[in-house]
Amino acid sequence: MGVLALQGGFQAHERMLAKLGPTPPRTREVRVPGDLDGLAGLVIPGGESTTMTLGIEREGLAEPLRALAANGTPILGSCAGLIMLDRDHLDMMDMRAERNAFGRQIRSFEADVELDGIEGGPLRGIFIRAPWIAEHGPGVEILAQIEGHAVAARQGAILAVSFHAELGEDDRLHRLFLEGC
């Protein structure tokens, strides 16, 4: 399992994946195109999308990441990872994200998120300068909304959420992702 490790909260995703048992997946930090070889799945973490974009360009990762998605490799993008997946960035999902849609840092919040495909009640979502999905094409399935705004979606093997599940204790989002890997 790869975790894009150019910037952002990649270590929190690694810790969450390491907790999944009985046999947690091995993780690999992805920094250069060769790190993508042989992955069963990839997590694009939260962080700062402009900085991530610069790192992806610097390392020549854009086309290899698009090829990974085109080959059907499952990808999970959280917060800035959702932004990176949209049409204006890596163009791996037919959607457009609205950055900082819920407000700046001071407007960060937690909320219960009813996410289609996850049983056992709502997930606790941590929204930090969070985006939402401003528009999407017909191939994108919206999985959750907060205040009428789409905050989770799936297109094929790609799952995108605008919140941080990796910062809490609930591992169901990561388990859902691993089921597709």
Q: Could you say which of 14, 136, 166, 174 is catalytic?
A: 166
Backbone angles phi, psi at 109, to 5 degrees: -160, 170
Instruction: Let me know if 79 is a catalytic residue.
Output: yes
- Cα–Cα distances in angstroms (integers) from residue 79 to residues 2, 26, 94, in the given order: 17, 23, 16
Active site residue 179: no
For residues 126 and 146, the answer to whether their CB atoms sit within 8 Å is: no
One of 79, 89, 136, 174 is an active-site residue; which one? Answer: 79
Is position 89 annotated as part of the catalytic site? no
Q: Are 110 and 124 in contact (CB under 8 A)?
A: yes
Catalytic position from the list 13, 136, 164, 174: 164
**C-beta atoms surrounding 13 within 10 Å:** 28
As annotated, the active-site residues are 79, 164, 166
